[in-house]
């Protein structure tokens, strides 16, 4: 679909001439440093802090402690670290 819109798309990690780089793995910092301003990528460093459920839960609970507005999700436990809270 992106090609139909006129974009150059690649899944080859060695390719340098692209508009959009699509990957299912982590992106190395040197790859990001070589990207030109117009080039886009579907991942960024550290995205696992939000995309993994345990990290997302930890960050939401931290925000709940700081801001009263963060009451829109159920209390979250991260096991095994929080197992004593369940007893």
Render 57-75 in DSSP notation, one character per residue: HHHHHHHHHH-TT--SS--
User: How far apart are the C-alpha atoms of 45 and 49, rounded to whole Å?
Assistant: 10
Tokens of 10: 């690649």
Strands ordered across the beta sheet of 20-21: 9-10, 20-21, 40-41
pLDDT tens digits, one per residue of 18-57: 888 878 777 788 888 888 898 888 877 777 777 788 888 8
- The pLDDT of residue 66: 92
User: How far apart are the C-alpha atoms of 17 and 28, rounded to whole Å?
Assistant: 17
Please check the confidence at residue 72 and state whether its pLDDT lies above 80.
yes
Please check the confidence at residue 85 and state whether its pLDDT lies above 80.
yes
Write out the H or E segment, with its range, that includes residue 1. none
Q: Is the pTM of this model over 0.75?
A: no
- The pLDDT of residue 13: 65
């Amino acid at each position: 679909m992106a090609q139909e819109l006129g974009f150059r798309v690649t899944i080859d990690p060695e390719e340098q001439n692209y508009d959009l780089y699509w990957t299912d793995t982590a992106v190395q910092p040197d790859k990001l440093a070589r990207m030109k301003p117009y080039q886009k990528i579907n991942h960024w460093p550290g995205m696992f802090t939000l995309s993994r459920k345990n990290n997302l839960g930890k960050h939401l609970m931290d925000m709940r402690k700081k801001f009263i507005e963060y009451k829109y999700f159920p209390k979250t436990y991260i096991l095994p670290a929080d197992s004593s809270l369940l007893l």
